Amino acid sequence: MSFAKVFKSANDLKSASYIHALDKDIYDEKIFSEKAGDFKFDFAPVLKPAEFSNSHIDVKSQKDSLIKLAHGTTTLAFKFKNGIIVATDSRATSGNIIASQTVKKVIEINPYLLGTMAGGAADCSYWERELGRRCRLYELSNKERISVAAASKLLSNMVYSYKGMGLSMGTMICGWDKKGPGLFYVDSEGQRLRGDLFSVGSGSTFAYGILDTAYKYDLETADAIELGRRAIYHATHRDAYSGGYVRLYHIKEDGWEFIGLEDVGELHYKYVNESN
């Protein structure tokens, strides 16, 4: 779902002015105030809520945790001369069970901005959709799109206020603005990195193996798409928690384009036949 046609009322505009400073990578505490109309989550009613959350949620593979989070996915994004390629798998797991093979792990924030999902599905989905709402408020207030850097900074600031509370999120914010293509990695600890190539998830080790072998900035568009497709395929072939379909996007100056959805089973036979 895109946020391009949501939140057009005058009341929503009252909070948009607090976001303007972020376009210059400036942190503003007003963004977290009640005046900004933000959603807030109540902390556990104990002296140290962060320690309480960590003791009950499997954030770092604690065997005695009451809530155990199963992490498994493969997402990647990289820049090249004609834009950015974004690729993900589509498998969702619940312990040792495959819960779904058709999960959409790309959030379409607006026509020029995409976010990927790795970690807790609920955390990624909620915070990236909240990011979409705030980006739309910025557009309405300033009559221009928010930059990729500012959008990633906004997401990083939002999740940092809940650091240590059990959030599980590793996302890439990808898009095109006045400065050209932009790619950032943001996680639930508030870490924010700018780069040209990222892969996140349990299958990222295998994806990096393919990317490091064949990636170069001056790839042609068809070759870049094939590299993203092949990297996700190899990750799903070796990682039990990744699979389903390869979902591909190409981000260009005039916005993102959905390339397609391809079954990794069919890709397996295609690549096996090519090798023979």
- For 208-230, what is each residue's pLDDT tens digit? 999 999 999 999 999 999 999 99
Q: Name the CATH topology of 70-275.
A: Glutamine Phosphoribosylpyrophosphate, subunit 1, domain 1 (3.60.20)
Q: Is 142 exposed, middle or buried (0-12, 13-18, 19+ CB in 10 A)?
A: middle
The number of angstroms, rounded, from the C-alpha of 226 to the middle of its chain's C-alpha atoms is: 21
Return the higher-pLDDT residue of 24 and 209.
209
Distances (CA, A) of 183 to 96, 175, 180, 226: 33, 7, 10, 19
User: pTM here?
Assistant: 0.76
pLDDT mean across residues, the chain: 81
Q: How far apart are the C-alpha atoms of 192 and 50, rounded to whole Å?
A: 21
DSSP-derived secondary structure letter, 30: G
Instruction: Write out the H or E segment, with its range, that includes residue 99.
Output: strand 97-100
Sketch the domain layout of the chain as residue ranges.
29-38+42-67, 70-275
Mean pLDDT of the region 30-41: 47
pLDDT digits (tens, 9 = 90+) for 245-260: 999 999 999 999 999 9
151 in Cβ contact with 109 (< 8 Å): yes
- CB count in 10 Å sphere of residue 66: 9
Residue numbers annotated as active site: 73
The Cα 171–Cα 188 span in angstroms is 9
Q: Identify the DSSP state of 153.
A: H
